[in-house]
Amino acid sequence: MTNLLMIEASPRGNSSVSRHMAVEYIDEWQRANPNGKVIQRDLTNTPLKFTDAPWLTAYFTPPDKQSAEMKNALKLSDELVEELLGADVIVIGTPVYNYNVPAVLKAWFDHIVRKGMTLGFSGEGLLKGKRCTVLLASGGVYTEGSPIRDRDIATQWLRLILNVLGIEDIEFIAAGGTKVIDLGEQSRSEYMAPIIPLIREAVYP
Ligand SMILES: Cc1cc2nc3c(=O)[nH]c(=O)nc-3n(C[C@H](O)[C@H](O)[C@H](O)COP(=O)(O)O)c2cc1C
């Protein structure tokens, strides 16, 4: 059975463009994989903490020496890693905040980059053979030819960290200029019309 893990990071609920992109992806993916399983990990209601001292202490303690408290500190991280390892296809739906990903998505990565689980002890990525699509919503436009293209740190960083984890097959679908919806200059369906075919195509490798 094929598994899709959908990571969502926008706190804007129904107003979120990346969440609407995620819905389109899931719909098409379910059509293509009627027996597939979808796991939706909504980071806005996941009790993710920044990696603090107890977490780091637990992380750097070999599993057979970890106290119950240490195991507890890593519990959510273990769960998130398990979800990721079980996925064949990973989709990340995220806004751009201050030219990068929102803190909650960075926190997710801090929890899933785990030596011996997703990253080898010699630094090799262990998530081989997985495919990732990133659905990126931003107020600005950063695509080819844009005068602010060099500020597209979110795409660069996501590609880097996914590559580090061993994921080479990555596609980005950028929904730039989303402010036209918030300013009422375009309806959401008008805005989404040219993006939906790109999302549907991305379902097929
Ligand atoms: C706190 C905050 C910071 C933002 N920073 C940027 C930014 O640096 N670059 C940009 O293009 N858009 C920025 N935006 C606009 C969002 O990327 C845009 O509203 C996008 O549609 C949000 O994704 P969502 O619709 O899925 O919630 C920012 C929005 C917020 C609320």
Specify the CATH number of the domain 3-202.
Answer: 3.40.50.360
Is pTM beyond 0.85? Reply is yes
DSSP string for residues in 8-44 = E--S-GGG-HHHHHHHHHHHHHHHH-TT-EEEEEEGG
* Residue 51 DSSP one-character state: -
Contact in structure between 36 and 30 (CB atoms under 8 Å): yes
Residue 157 CB–ligand 1 contact under 6 Å: no
Quote the crossing angle between the two packed helices 103-112 and 75-85, to the nearest 10°: 80
* Residue 70 DSSP one-character state: H
pLDDT in tens, 30-68: 999 999 999 999 999 999 999 999 999 999 999 999 999
Residue 89 CB–ligand 1 contact under 6 Å: no
Residue ranges of E strands in 79-168: 89-95, 131-137
pLDDT in tens, 62-90: 999 999 999 999 999 999 999 999 999 99
